[in-house]
Structure 1
Amino acid sequence: MIKRYKSVIFGSLAIALLLSACVTQKYQTPKVASNNLYRDVQTTDSTTIAKLPWEQLFSDEKLKGIIKKGLAQNADLQNAIQNIVQAQATLRQSKLAYYPSLDFKADATRNRASDAAQNFPAGININTLTDTYRAYLSTSWEADIWGKISNSKRMALASYLRTDAAKRAVQTQLIANIANTYYNLIALDEQLRITQQTLESRIKNVEVVKALKEGAIVNGAAVVQSEANLYAAEVAIPDLKQSIRETENALNILLSQPPGTIDRNMLASETVPENLATGVSGQLLKNRPDVQEAEFTFRNAFENTNLAKTYFYPSLTLTANGGLSTLQIRDFFDHSVFYSIVGGLTQPIFNRGENKSRLAVAKSQQIQAYNNFQQTLLIAGQETSNALFSYQMAQEKKQARIKQIDALQKAVDYTQQLLQYTSTTNYTDVLTSEQSLLSAQLSGINDRLQELQAVVELYRALGGGWQ
């Protein structure tokens, strides 16, 4: 008889497991358009700077030291690591759901029944007050017939992988933010140096113009104009100093440390890699942490849809209790053993549409996760294209800017010389050429900054910084 029951039970479980394969689906990476994401870039070479460790991308040792400090101290990155710790704990908990629960319980119960309710014959006096003492173990186990527990575990795994990818995304963004802020800081240093140098030159120029006025070569208007030109350079210096101070403070925030001076090199000492290989756009699926995070989010939503389907099917739960029970505490360990084993099957029939709503929400969230996955990949391609084009445009401006600055420097020299030897030269010509020269010099610094930051953005956009 027992063998017959075992055969029925195991046979039923086998059939249920086969049916569960029809209830849920196995996850597969969704197909998304990952080709031709780089505008105007046609290549089959899989070499990419994303595989380059960040220590090799940057040549500035002081910048490397700042990045190392940021990776060790940044609050956002530390929080991302704690998210991984939380996801690991959830994943461990989901794995333990396969095992039965085990509890120890002890209770004492006093119960008194109504004499009238017992309908005893007249003259019969029976004590209806009873005390019961129990100490026992209780266990419960749910058979994972339809994959409810398995899908919960796979959801937890997807969440864990998502937090790990999110941490790597924070790291790549942090490296880029530190490098870009550092480059912006040394560019401001260079702009301040050029402006102070220009100020010194204009101070001398005012003295020259005053001497020319005494020689009746220029009039008083030229003197006033030269002084105004001096003040224009002088008034720009406080703004540059303020920008430098604020940029230093911003960099310290990235390092999660109080405001202070940042030890740094000069802009002229910075170099960029010679080969900025992008690889093929399909590699973004493996290299970009935020793209991976978006896929794991979709995977979590996919498993949640599977889980929602399992609620439409019956659940099988086995519970068992066993221990000691007595009516007299002094006889607790004498002939007081009890046990019970219960198998229960629960099939939802009417639950006010809760299961249908749960499934509808899960399917909708899965569609949203897929759309976000596709959009994240498209944004990755856009950022790569923008960074690469920005670098190319900075390169194109370089030679033209050098020639512009050289021509304007000559214009300043020529007009100043003409001003000293002829009264036909208007001081406005000198003023215009000097202002144009300073503007071109500052723009040249911005061109160099654009070049450096474009390399950083290209590296981040390709998914570099976490390998």
Structure 2
Amino acid sequence: MKKILFALFATCLLEGCGIYNKYKQPDLTATTDSLFREELAADTASSLAELSWKELFADPQLQDLISQALRTNTDLHIARLKVKEAQASLMSSKLAYLPSLQLDPEGSLSSFERSKPAKTYTLGASASWEADLFGKLTNAKRNARAALEESDAYRQAVQTQLIATVAESYYTLLMLDEQANVTAETVENWKEYVQTLYSLMKAGQADRSTVSQAEASRADAAASLLSLQQSIKETENSLSSLLGQTARHIERGSLSRQSFPQNLSTGVPLDLLANRPDIRQAEAALKQAFYTTNSARAAFYPSITLNGAAGWTNNGGTTITNPGGWLLQAIGSLIQPLFNRGENIANLKIAKAQQEEALLSFRQSLLDAGEEVNNALSQWQTARERIRLNDEQVKHPQNTVHDTQLLMEHGTTNFLEALTARQSLLSARLTLIADRYDEIQSVISLYHALAAETTKDTLFFSLSYTLPVSGP
């Protein structure tokens, strides 16, 4: 028996069956070397991915909201529970190496032709242990560990998304507040202008059509203000849901008081890819597919199980004796698949195809990561340039408002010109608010794209990898 097992084991190793091979990270340097566009290249001395969310989002009220969301958000709690499930599965796969033990007490009464009942009993225990000579248990354990890595990466992805969403909702509220303030100021300007036109119409210096047009403009601005107020309530309701609570007013600061690092950088591609949980999740899925393929190969080889039983019984098989005696039994079994080889071949082909799919998904996830970072960095650079230009545009309407106000006081210009200048200033301010929000949005997008604060595992893409395509 030992010689047979040794021969089978040696044959497996000599043929390079691959059932004990460990996963190796694929070499995708060709993909990562040009991950960033040249015109978006940034200083890599300090990466945004190295900043914690508390360093990036410095508003104390926003920090309180994020901390609350991390404690109470439903999706994040579910993701944490999935990690616990994967941990339990890994523990189960590790315990599979140990023998299983069970107690088998048994008793019976039997009588034939109304004879005195015969009492038999067995107080026994049995044990079973599977010898992992061909990698079945090993690959199951490695697969479970990869599943745990995937679950933990998913949890980190949910956490990063949650932080980004809370920050985005908070800054949206600040933008809407600013827009509502400017729009309310616009409504007041139109009210003042309408009152002036009524006075001019009574004096015969304005007609009814001009007054009606001004009234329509005032009503349109008032309607815009109502829409902004409704958007504020809806955003507060959405943010409250993220916090796991009923809708309420959200305490917040102002858009003008927000500050961020002036020099953002993405870091080198390897840093980026090591940080992103979705990349680690995709690689963990590739690991699982790899070990599933190994398990499919192991199905071609025999399963070896050792069973033993021991106990005290009064039923020796032929006569019933009292008191009883010890019963010992040991069995070794070897199961070699013979007639289901077609099913095993099909399972192996399926596993190989799924492994190739996982590798393609892994490669695509790298490209998607590069796209997100490129878009976010471009948005940030564009928003900062637009803010610089709009700062200059706001200065001109401010000067115009000041000049027309002085001219109107000295009687050399009319109220309409002064109002037009004021409306131009308000419009420029609204544009500047939108550009400021775009800049903040780009920072949030960069935070999410770089997946800041996640655990940095082994750097990817340092080893070569070839998909196994040979037979079992």
Q: Would you say same fold, with TM above 0.5?
A: yes
Q: Is the 8 A contact 1:168 1:289 kept in 2?
A: yes
Change beyond 3 A, Cα 1:42–1:414:
closer
Deviation readout 1:261-287 (Å, 9 max, x if unpaired): 111001111011122011112222211
Cα distance in structure 2, aligned partners of 1:333 and 1:206: 115
Q: Is the 8 A contact 2:183 2:221 kept in 1?
A: yes
Q: Is the 8 A contact 1:284 1:291 kept in 2?
A: no
**Aligned-pair distance for 1:310?**
0.3
Cα distance in structure 1, aligned partners of 2:418 and 2:237: 39
Change beyond 3 A, Cα 1:14–1:349:
closer
**Aligned-pair distance for 1:412?**
6.2
2:273 to 285, 289, 306: 285
The answer on 1:54 being equivalent to 2:53 is yes
Change beyond 3 A, Cα 1:63–1:415:
same
Cα distance in structure 2, aligned partners of 1:462 and 1:225: 51
Q: How does 1:418-429 map to 2 (within 5 A)?
A: none
The answer on 1:258 being equivalent to 2:253 is no
1:407 to 377, 386, 396: 396
The answer on 1:38 being equivalent to 2:36 is yes
Please report the TM-score for the alignment, with normalisation by the length of structure 2. 0.86
Deviation readout 1:111-162 (Å, 9 max, x if unpaired): 899xxxxxxxxxxx9x9x9764322111111111110100000000001111
Structure 2 unmatched ranges of 5 or more: 456-472
Change beyond 3 A, Cα 1:378–1:443:
same
**Aligned-pair distance for 1:46?**
5.5
Q: Is the 8 A contact 1:217 1:420 kept in 2?
A: no
Q: Is the 8 A contact 1:165 1:293 kept in 2?
A: yes
2:461 aligns with: none
The answer on 1:137 being equivalent to 2:125 is yes
2:464 aligns with: none
Structure 2 letter corresponding to 1:366: Q
2:138 to 145, 150, 158: 150
Please report the TM-score for the alignment, with normalisation by the length of structure 1. 0.87
The answer on 1:28 being equivalent to 2:20 is no
SS at match of 1:22: coil
SS at match of 2:23: coil
Deviation readout 1:328-382 (Å, 9 max, x if unpaired): 9xx7772421121111111101127321222122112111111111111111111
Range with bigger deviation, 190-199 or 226-235: 226-235
Change beyond 3 A, Cα 1:418–1:43:
closer
Cα distance in structure 2, aligned partners of 1:77 and 1:450: 27
Cα distance in structure 1, aligned partners of 2:205 and 2:388: 38
Change beyond 3 A, Cα 1:42–1:405:
closer
Cα distance in structure 1, aligned partners of 2:239 and 2:336: 60
Change beyond 3 A, Cα 1:111–1:370:
farther
1:383 aligns with: 372
2:105 aligns with: 106
Cα distance in structure 1, aligned partners of 2:428 and 2:13: 75
Q: Is the 8 A contact 2:300 2:341 kept in 1?
A: no
Structure 2 letter corresponding to 1:29: Q
Q: Is the 8 A contact 2:408 2:418 kept in 1?
A: no
2:344 aligns with: 355
2:10 aligns with: 15
Q: Is the 8 A contact 2:9 2:134 kept in 1?
A: no
Deviation readout 1:215-258 (Å, 9 max, x if unpaired): 44332222222222211211111111110000001111111111
The answer on 1:69 being equivalent to 2:68 is yes
Structure 1 letter corresponding to 2:24: Q
Change beyond 3 A, Cα 1:338–1:88:
same
Change beyond 3 A, Cα 1:410–1:216:
farther
SS at match of 1:102: strand
Change beyond 3 A, Cα 1:89–1:21:
farther
Q: Is the 8 A contact 1:70 1:255 kept in 2?
A: yes
2:176 aligns with: 188
Q: Is the 8 A contact 2:400 2:421 kept in 1?
A: yes
Change beyond 3 A, Cα 1:51–1:448:
same
1:179 aligns with: 167
Deviation readout 1:413-449 (Å, 9 max, x if unpaired): 77786799589x896x777666554443222211111
SS at match of 2:451: coil
Range with bigger deviation, 397-406 or 227-236: 397-406
Deviation readout 1:172-203 (Å, 9 max, x if unpaired): 11111111110001100111111111111221
For these two proteins, the number of residue pairs brought into alignment is 446
Structure 1 letter corresponding to 2:135: G
Q: Which has the larger radius of gyration?
A: 1
2:289 to 298, 301, 307: 301
Cα distance in structure 2, aligned partners of 1:46 and 1:426: 55
2:334 aligns with: 345
Range with bigger deviation, 213-222 or 450-459: 213-222
Structure 1 unmatched ranges of 5 or more: 114-124
Query: Pairwise CA RMSD of aligned residues?
Result: 3.0
Q: Is the 8 A contact 1:294 1:376 kept in 2?
A: yes
Cα distance in structure 1, aligned partners of 2:389 and 2:409: 28
Cα distance in structure 2, aligned partners of 1:268 and 1:44: 27
Range with bigger deviation, 403-412 or 298-307: 403-412
1:88 aligns with: 87
Range with bigger deviation, 271-280 or 260-269: 271-280
1:395 aligns with: 384
Cα distance in structure 2, aligned partners of 1:134 and 1:341: 17
Q: Is the 8 A contact 2:47 2:267 kept in 1?
A: yes
Structure 1 letter corresponding to 2:279: V
1:213 aligns with: 201
SS at match of 1:159: helix
Cα distance in structure 2, aligned partners of 1:46 and 1:28: 30
Q: Is the 8 A contact 1:137 1:321 kept in 2?
A: yes
The answer on 1:170 being equivalent to 2:175 is no
